A and B are shown apart, each in its own frame.
Chain A
Amino acid sequence: MAIPKVMGTEVEYGITVKGDPDFDPISSCVLLVNAYREDHAGEILWDYDQENPLADARGFQVDGEKYTPNQQENIARNKTLVNGARYYVDHAHPEYSCPEVTNVRDLVVHEKAGERILEVSRREANALLPAGTQMLIYKNNSDRKGNSYGSHENYLMDRRTSFKQIVECLMPFFVTRQVYCGAGKVGSENRGHPIDYQISQRADFFETEVALDTMVKRPIINTRDEPHADREKYRRLHVIVGDANLSEYTIYLRNGATAIVLAMIEDGAITKDLSLRDPVRAIKEISHDTSCKQEIPLDDGKRKSAVQIQAEYLEMALAYTARQSLDPVTKDVLAKWEHAVEALRRDPMELHEKIDWVMKKAMIERFMERKSLDWRSPQVEMLDLQYHDLRPEKGLYYLLERQGHAERIVSDEEILAAVHTPPADTRAYFRGECLRKYGAAVFGVNWDSISFGVDGEPIKRILMAEPLKGTKAHVKDLLDSSPTAADLVKNLRA
């Protein structure tokens, strides 16, 4: 039985300092993350104790070194925010993990709130940099020099669904969803075939089908098994195959359609076998074909295009949901998924105000035409990068949005509110509110726990193994009747 698709995204951002060719990305990231101040901000550790990144969903534990920063490094690199998000330095990139949400509309709001937070911190950090230098942040996945950084999605699943089943049913979906999820990219990477423009920022970087690693020989399906929740009940599917998206419509479809497909897998509703002959090859071929007509070989000998395969998933989704009473968001996702598939069938460019890769392509082509440039012009490469610039006055996505060329899903008011307010319907509420109320007494935090250091007492760790507990409905009274952290701990014990 499909369980609610609690979800969240973690976005690694690109960072550079203009005017300082020797800038150190790690210290710049630390500066950036620390430049964002919230009133509660104390010295709070990210609690790595329970983390287990070497667990593989296929049922084993990989041998290896688990990196855990020392206390000082930890505090410098990790911020947990009052909206329940985690904002931190991941290797040499700033990363924003939004709080857990119950639906894709909230996901859009909170992922977008992350952009605002990155931008505010960027401005604050810049006030501290030497004159003539400027820190810049990009929400993308590629530097055109062979390096890639990820935009990951996380979905809560029922642990009883076998991982093998997930892989089989999901692989063709992940290979093909880029036709409405891709962020677009000028040129190719990683010894890929030369190309003017392709659909996905990440496609060229995938080298295996299923694996644990996220940084080398990247897999289309990642086997990380760190549920950050009750291990007996839950799986957290960790998805690394997507692009970083700016268009709200694209983010909405990306997580929305994926969540529906995962529910179908849990309910055994994927009734067609769409297994591909060579997924790693296909993901690149599809990315390199902006007409979206190219057919790829399936295991059963047939050939289908990415759009046809998505149409099959959509058809199964419509049949699956026809028997249910749907919430408005799911209904809306299905309608938009259907619209996208139909538009892609006719002419992908019809989606030039909805899907990132199409929006970017349309913009670049207009510019090239007017200025008599070609795909190898430095200005075209610059357009490819500046689309993802987080400065609202310079970022080209934001320019398109301001000029009415980007269909939106949520409002600026909602996004702004989410900068300081956690979702009310997941454990992010408890986490965020504890930070706001008891900030100084919080010792450490993780997704599934929060620890308090109350005067003279040993650290108390409160476990939050259920993502759907710790909501406003559950804990508001408890919090209201606990003016201090000591009261909270006492009341929890009672």
Chain B
Amino acid sequence: MRITTTIERPARGADAEPLPVYRAAEGGQKQVQKKGGDDAGADKGAGGPQKLAKKGEKLKDEMDALVDEIDEVLEENAEEFVKNYVQRGGE
């Protein structure tokens, strides 16, 4: 189930972009709660090498999934885009 949180005002025009979605799907939300509680880096209830290996694999899969997601949204013409990103500079 996808939950959306939006600010009102429907987009106008032919090139209208979809409304902003900030919140995750259910799965993502649960992950936040879980990770928020963990003490980063400390594996308190280690259940032996097998459990650790499984955890490592799960992490690797998660990371792979993350890289795939990033790949999907990453600007295609990276070199040109970065080259053209120039700011006047401020305070």
Residues of A within 8 A of B (CB): 12, 14-16, 18, 21, 25, 90-93, 95, 116, 119-120, 123-124, 126-128, 131, 143-145, 147-150, 152, 214-215, 240, 343, 346-347, 350-354, 363, 366-367, 370-371, 378-379, 381-383, 385-386, 391-394, 396, 398-408, 412-413, 416, 419
Determine whether B36 belongs to the interface, using a CB cutoff of 8 Å to chain A. yes
Q: In the bound complex, what is the Cα–Cα distance between A49 and B18 (angstroms)? A: 42
> With A149-B91, A392-B20 in contact, do A116 and B7 touch (Cβ < 8 Å)?
yes
A92, A116, A404, A405: the one within 8 Å of B90 (CB): A92
Q: Is B75 at the interface (CB under 8 A from chain A)?
A: yes
CA distance A399 to B29 in the complex (A): 12
Report the bound CA distance from A478 to B52 in whole Å: 64
In the complex, B88 has a CB within 8 A of chain A: yes
Please tell me the size bucket of the interface on B: 35 or more
30 contacts between A and B (CB under 8 A): A16-B87, A18-B81, A25-B88, A91-B88, A91-B89, A91-B90, A92-B90, A93-B90, A123-B20, A127-B15, A127-B16, A131-B15, A143-B87, A147-B88, A147-B89, A152-B91, A215-B90, A354-B40, A366-B66, A381-B78, A391-B20, A393-B20, A393-B73, A402-B25, A404-B32, A405-B35, A407-B35, A408-B32, A408-B36, A416-B7
With contacts A127-B13, A366-B63 taken as known, whether A120 is within 8 angstroms of B7 at the C-beta atoms is yes
Instruction: Please indicate the chain A residues that have their CB under 8 angstroms from the CB of B49 in the complex.
Output: none
| B53 contacts A by Cβ under 8 Å | no
What residues of chain A lie closer than 8 Å to B31, measured between beta carbons?
Answer: 403-405
Question: Are B28 and A21 closer than 8 Å at their CB atoms?
Answer: no
The docked-state distance in angstroms from the alpha carbon of A243 to that of B28 is 27
Measured between alpha carbons, how far is A208 from B75 in the docked complex, in Å? 37
For chain B, residues 2 to 56, give those with C-beta under 8 angstroms from any C-beta of chain A: 5, 7, 9, 11-18, 20-25, 27-32, 34-36, 40-41
Shortest distance from the beta carbon of A9 to any chain B beta carbon, whole Å: 13
- Taking CB atoms, residues of chain A closer than 8 Å to B70 are 363, 367, 383, 396, 399
Contact B66 A403 (CB under 8 A): yes
**Judging by beta carbons under 8 Å apart, are A383 and B24 in contact?**
no
Q: Which of B67, B73, B79 is in CB contact (< 8 Å) with A378?
A: B79
Q: Total number of A-B contacts with CB less than 8 angstroms?
A: 172
Contacts of A354 in B (CB 8 A): 40
**Given A131-B15, A402-B22, 12 additional A-B pairs, CB 8 A:** A12-B90, A21-B84, A93-B88, A93-B90, A127-B15, A143-B89, A149-B89, A149-B90, A347-B41, A382-B75, A383-B74, A412-B5
Partner of B9, one of A120, A128, A143, A412: A120
Q: Are B17 and A126 in contact (CB under 8 A)?
A: yes
Chain B contacts with A in 58-91, Cβ cutoff 8 A? 63-64, 66-67, 69-71, 73-75, 78-79, 81-82, 84-91
- Contacts A363-B70, A366-B66 hold; do A404 and B24 have CB atoms under 8 A apart? yes
Question: B73 near A127 (CB under 8 angstroms)?
Answer: no
The answer to whether A367 and B90 touch across the interface, beta carbons within 8 angstroms, is: no
Closest chain A residue to B89, Cβ basis: A147
Q: How far apart sit A391 and B73, CA to CA, in the bound complex (Å)?
A: 11
Q: Is the CB of B74 within 8 A of A382?
A: yes
Contact across chains for A404 and B30 when beta carbons are under 8 A apart: yes
Q: How far is the CA of A128 from the CA of B90 in the complex (A)?
A: 26
CA distance A351 to B29 in the complex (A): 19
Contact assessment for B17 and A123 in the assembled complex, using a CB-CB cutoff below 8 Å: yes
Of chain A, the residue at the smallest CB distance from B84 is A21
With both chains docked as a complex, state the minimum distance between the C-beta of A15 and any C-beta of chain B, in angstroms.
8
- Whether A403 pairs with B28 at a CB distance below 8 angstroms is yes
Q: How far apart are the CA atoms of A474 and B56 in the complex, in Å?
A: 56
| Closest-CB distance, A489 to chain B (whole angstroms) | 33
- A402 adjacent to B91 (CB under 8 Å): no
The smallest beta-carbon distance between A191 and chain B, in angstroms, is 16
Interface residues of B (CB under 8 A from A): 5, 7, 9, 11-18, 20-25, 27-32, 34-36, 40-41, 63-64, 66-67, 69-71, 73-75, 78-79, 81-82, 84-91
Q: How far is the CA of A144 from the CA of B66 in the complex (A)?
A: 26
Q: How far, in whole Å, are A4 and B38 apart by their CA atoms in the complex?
A: 32
Q: A25-B88, A347-B41 given as contacts; is B5 within 8 A of A363 (CB)?
A: no
Q: Which residues of A contact B63 (CB under 8 A)?
A: 366
Sorted nearest first, the 3 A-B pairs with minimum C-beta distance are A404-B31, A92-B88, A147-B89
Beta-carbon contact of B89 and A392 below 8 Å: no
Q: Are A382 and B84 in contact (CB under 8 A)?
A: no
Specify which chain B residues have a CB less than 8 angstroms from the CB of A119 in the assembled complex. Answer: 20
Q: Which residues of B contact A116 (CB under 8 A)?
A: 7, 20, 22
Specify which chain A residues have a CB less than 8 angstroms from the CB of B84 in the assembled complex: 16, 18, 21
* Contact across chains for B81 and A382 when beta carbons are under 8 A apart: yes
Q: Please determine whether A351 and B15 come into contact, CB atoms closer than 8 angstroms.
A: no
List the B side residues contacting A346 at CB < 8 Å. 41
Chain A hits for B28, CB < 8 A: 402-404
Contact A382 B35 (CB under 8 A): no
**Which A residues are in CB contact (< 8 Å) with B73?**
386, 393-394, 396, 399
Residue of B nearest to A350 (CB): B41
Please tell me if the beta carbons of A127 and B11 are within 8 angstroms of each other in the complex. Answer: yes
Alpha-carbon separation in the docked complex, A168 to B14 (Å): 57
Q: Nearest-CB distance from A206 to chain B (Å)? A: 13
A74 to chain B, nearest CB (A): 18
